[in-house]
Structure formats: C-alpha cells, structure tokens
Amino acid sequence: MKIAIVGTGMIGGAVARAARRLRSVREVTGVDNNPVHAADAVRLGLVQRMQADVPDDADIVVIATPSEAIADRVIELRDHRGVIIDVGSVKGAIVSAVRARLGSAPPRYVPCHPLAGSEKHGPAHAPEQLFHERLLILTPLPETDPRAIATAEVFWRDLGSILHTMPLEDHDRILARTSHLPHLLAFAFMHGIADEELRFSGGGFRDFSRIAASSPELWWKIFELNRDTLLAAVDRFDADLKALREALATNDSRTGLRLLAEAADRRRKLP
C-alpha cells in the first residue's frame, strides 16, 4: 500500500511514523504547505518524501491538517481513487461544508477521530506509538462506501487503535464535553493566573492546566467548528459550578459534599 499524509504536524507525523513500520505499507509520502514541517518530516524519517500534491496512486490519504482545512482537502480529493481518512476533532462542520459544496460526501471519505494527542505540535513531537491502544472513533456517513470503511478500519487497527463507530452528531456532542470543554476551561483558568503565581503550583495545577499550553489557533478553530454544541456544554458546566459555589457560599456542606463525592466516584471509574 501507498500512504499519503496531508499535514505532517504532530498527529500526521505520528500516523506517518507508525505507518512506515507496517509490513503492508510500501511508501509514505507527505504533503505540507509548511516548509519547516515538511523539512522536519523528511529529516526525521517520518515520510520517505514530500510532494506538492497528493500522489494519484495513494491507496490511503490521511488528512491531518488543522480542522478548518480538512473540508477543502476532502473536496479537492473527491475523485481520488484512494480511501480518504481525516483525523479532525470535529466532524459535523466538516461534513456539512463538504456536502454544501458537493451535494453529498465522496463515498470513499471516511471521517475518523483518534482520541490521542498532546499539547505539543509539529512533526518533531510526533510520538512513536500515539495510537497504540487508544480509541479511534469512526463516524461513517450514509453515503460512505462500506469497502472504504473496511479499509480505514484495517489501517487503524494495524496502528494499534481500538475502534468505535458512532453517528457524527453523537461524536460532536460527546467530544464537546470530554475534550473541547476541558480545553476551554483550562484556557480560561490559565488566563486568570498571574505570572508570579506560577511558582506556587503543585502537581494538581500542572496536570489540570497542561492542555492550556495547546495551540491557540488549532483550538480556537475547533471551538468555532463545534460552537453550538460546545456552548451547551459550557452552560451545563456553568450550572454545575454554580451549584457548587452556592453550596459553599451558603455553608451547605451536605450538598457540597454530595456534589464532590458524585464527581470523585465518577472520576474513579475512569479505567
């Protein structure tokens, strides 16, 4: 198989690195507008070579650009012979943009989202085994070709992913709460911390705020692409925060303790 990776940043670089190890993969080609990423991806051996355009004979094209650039690439590749996979954190807005332009999504496009990442970016930070035993969500569309889905599934399984298929609306709603919301909260939290307070922070602060070091550009776009669903998640959080604040302000220990205990019980269920 020949693989093309469009966007050789941290995620695309990790796909390339993992794909090169597969026996079924003969060639990994990169496509990237960013000359620094392009040079790094070759120098680090993530891809065999870089090209200006997606090779016509690629069997799988992985679109790993920032989320807002995915729809244009899918549209551009509508007649490509290969299976088109993306790794975007939001699915609804991408598919809507593609459908608005083409009427329906290309049958060989399989929307995917690996739940794996890091606050770092760029091919130099592409981990060795980013997808190993991590969840990979597929959100195939009514118009998606089942053979394309099967190819995508085999590819991700070969990279070590655990697959889960769900409707795209469910994906965007769940991820708004489990991923986009914590990022937004971490950014808001860090915005309120003063530089001189940073040294008075322990391990709790460090872990809680780690994702606030993520790329502002990437994440603002993700927030925008999932705006309404994320706003609803923010409002739900705000209600939980208000309930806890109210219990504290009114010295209502019973309610406060109950809210904390319910939260802790849930967090302790995380495998």
Identify residues 145-204 at the interface with its own copies (CB under 8 A).
Answer: 164, 174-175, 177-179, 181-193, 195, 197-204
Q: How many residues line the site for its own copies (CB under 8 A)?
A: 85
SS3 label, residue 21: coil
In the complex, what is the shortest distance from the CB of residue 211 to its own copies, in angstroms, rounded to a whole number? 4
CA-wise closest residue to 163 among 154, 171, 172, 174? 154
Residue among 43 and 164 whose Cβ is closer to its own copies: 164
What track of x and - describes contact with its own copies for positions 102 through 131 (by CB under 8 A)?
-------------xxxxx------------
Residue among 100 and 198 whose Cβ is closer to its own copies: 198
**Nearest-angstrom CA–CA distance, 60 and 1:** 8
Give 69-119 as a DSSP string: GHHHHHHHTTT-SSEEEE--S--HHHHHHHHHHHSS--TTEE-EEES---S
Q: Is 35 in the site for its own copies (CB under 8 A)?
A: no
Give the helix/strand (H/E) hosting 257: helix 253-268
Helix 253-268 vs helix 227-249: crossing angle, to nearest 10: 140
**Nearest-angstrom CA–CA distance, 212 and 223:** 14
When binding is defined by CB under 8 A, the residue of 34, 66, 208, 232 that contacts its own copies is 208
Point out which residues pair with 177 in neighbouring strands: none
In the complex, what is the shortest distance from the CB of residue 162 to its own copies, in angstroms, rounded to a whole number? 9
Q: Which of residues 229-268 bind its own copies (CB under 8 A)?
A: 230-231, 233-234, 236-241, 243-245, 248-249, 251, 253, 256-257, 259-264, 266-268
In the complex, what is the shortest distance from the CB of residue 17 to its own copies, in angstroms, rounded to a whole number? 18
Residue among 54 and 181 whose Cβ is closer to its own copies: 181
Segment near its own copies (CB under 8 A), from 7-15, 46-54, 144-152, 214-222? 214-222
Q: Which of residues 50-69 bind its own copies (CB under 8 A)?
A: none
Residue among 22 and 115 whose Cβ is closer to its own copies: 115
Q: What are phi and psi of 174, to 5 degrees?
A: -70, -45
Q: What are phi and psi of 16, to 5 degrees?
A: -60, -50
What is the per-residue burial (b if ≥16 Cβ within 10 Å, else e) of 220-259? ebbbebbeebbeebbeeeeeeeeeeeebeeeeeeeebeeb
Residue among 110 and 137 whose Cβ is closer to its own copies: 137
Q: Is 78 in the site for its own copies (CB under 8 A)?
A: no
Q: Is 227 in the site for its own copies (CB under 8 A)?
A: yes
The pair of structure tokens assigned to 221 is: 């776009």
